[in-house]
Amino acid sequence: MLYIGTLLLMDHEDGAYQIYDPTEQSGDDYDRVIWDSVARTAEMTYSSLSEDYGNGGNYISSLKPGESIQVNMAWIVNENDLNNMYLNLNGDGAAYEFSDSMLKIGLVDIYQ
Q: Burial of 93 by CB count in 10 Å (0-12 exposed, 13-18 middle, 19+ buried)?
A: middle
On whether the pTM is more than 0.75, the answer is no
Q: What is the mean pLDDT of the chain?
A: 73
Q: Is the model more confident about 43 or about 54? A: 43
Domain residue spans of the chain: 6-44+74-109
Q: How far apart are CA 9 and CA 51, in angstroms?
A: 31
DSSP character at residue 81: G
Return the SS3 of 84.
helix
Q: Is the model more confident about 46 or about 67? A: 67
| pLDDT for the residue numbered 39 | 41
